[in-house]
């Protein structure tokens, strides 16, 4: 089974520029998560999708961050404009459908390391 | 809102030593509890989980964790660590009534000296 795919793996941009990250979850996984992981901290949930609907985006800075999951499969996360404090690893994860034995287990991608200068 | 606290930021052990990493969470309702591990250069991956039933759960590579509801704790243990256990370990809690929202601790870096 193919894992969660993310691209790009690394990105360096200047502040005030925009950037987009892409995630393709494991086939059949209904739940998709985007996390921000700042160095020395644990992953912080930005947004959670169930199929193509948002179930939690309470920690997403909506003035600059946006995310979509068209057709309930792959997803993009965008930052516009970027700030220095956005430098972090952005992780995508997916989980099997609710009701399956492993429905709350998360499978993570390799992450995108963003550096804002 | 739920929160997770991992007490040790960095643990250094010699091979064959015993390991216990602390994890406490704050939430009064039903939770699922997880330990994830990130080996150097690899993705975060599931180590073990607690959903219900026996509070002592076993995971991969000889790890186990005990859920103590009265203490809101889910500590990770291994009787004898190996050099290959060097990694970062994250405790996480998922709340069913909050759309399955997960909260992670800040992680513990384990270094095992050969």
Domains delineated in chain B: 3-113 (2.60.40.10)
Q: Give the DSSP H or E segment for A21.
A: strand A19-24
**Cα–Cα nearest to A43, from A9, A109, A90:** A90
Would you say A78 and A20 are in contact if contact means Cβ atoms under 8 Å apart?
A: yes
Name residue B48's beta-bridge partners. Answer: B35
Of the pLDDT bands very low, low, confident and very high (cuts 50, 70, 90), residue A27 is very high
Nearest chain A residue to B43, by CA: A110
CA distance B34 to B93: 6
In whole angstroms, what is the distance from residue B40 CA to residue B19 CA?
A: 19
State mean pLDDT over A37-53: 93
Average pLDDT, chain A: 94
Higher pLDDT, A40 or B86: B86
The full set of domain ranges for chain A reads 5-116
Mind listing the pLDDT tens digit for each residue in B60-93?
Answer: 999 999 999 999 999 999 999 999 999 999 999 9
pLDDT at residue A116 greater than cutoff 70: yes
Between A71 and B16, residue with greater pLDDT: B16
What architecture does CATH give domain A5-116?
Sandwich (2.60)
pLDDT in tens, B32-59: 999 999 999 999 999 999 998 999 999 9
* A77 closest CA partner among A43, A111, A102, A116: A111
Q: How far apart are CA B83 and CA B15, in angstroms?
A: 6
Interface of B with A (CB under 8 A): 4, 6, 32, 34, 36, 43-46, 49, 51, 90, 92, 94, 98-107
Mean pLDDT to the nearest integer, A61-77? 94
CB B18, CB B79: distance < 8 Å? yes
Token readout for A112 is 């995108």
Span B17-44, mean pLDDT? 93
pLDDT band at A110 (very low <50, low <70, confident <90, very high): very high
User: Both tokens of residue A6?
Assistant: 């993310």
Mean pLDDT computed over B11-33 = 93
Share of chain A above pLDDT 90, in %: 83
Please indicate whether, in this complex, the C-beta atoms of B101 and A91 are within 8 angstroms of each other: no
């Amino acid at each position: 089974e193919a894992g969660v795919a993310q691209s790009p793996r690394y990105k360096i941009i200047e502040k005030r520029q925009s950037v987009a990250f892409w995630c393709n979850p494991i086939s059949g996984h209904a739940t998709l998560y985007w996390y921000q992981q700042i160095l020395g901290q644990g992953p912080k949930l930005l947004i959670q999708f169930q199929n193509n609907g948002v179930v939690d985006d309470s920690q997403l800075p909506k003035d600059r961050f946006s995310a979509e999951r068209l057709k309930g499969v792959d997803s993009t996360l965008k930052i516009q404009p970027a700030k220095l404090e956005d430098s972090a690893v952005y992780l995508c994860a997916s989980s099997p459908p609710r009701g399956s034995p492993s429905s709350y287990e998360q499978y993570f991608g390799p992450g995108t390391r963003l550096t804002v200068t | 809102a739920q929160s997770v606290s991992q007490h040790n930021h960095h643990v250094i052990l010699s091979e064959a030593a015993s390991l216990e990493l602390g994890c406490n969470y704050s939430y009064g309702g039903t939770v699922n509890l997880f330990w994830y591990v990130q080996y150097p250069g690899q993705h975060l991956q599931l180590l073990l989980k607690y959903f219900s039933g026996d509070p002592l759960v076993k995971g991969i590579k000889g790890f186990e964790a005990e859920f103590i509801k009265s203490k809101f704790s889910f500590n990770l243990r291994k009787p004898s660590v190996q050099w290959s256990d060097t990694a970062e370990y994250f405790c996480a809690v998922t709340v069913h009534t909050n759309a399955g929202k997960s909260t992670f601790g800040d992680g513990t870096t384990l270094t095992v000296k050969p």
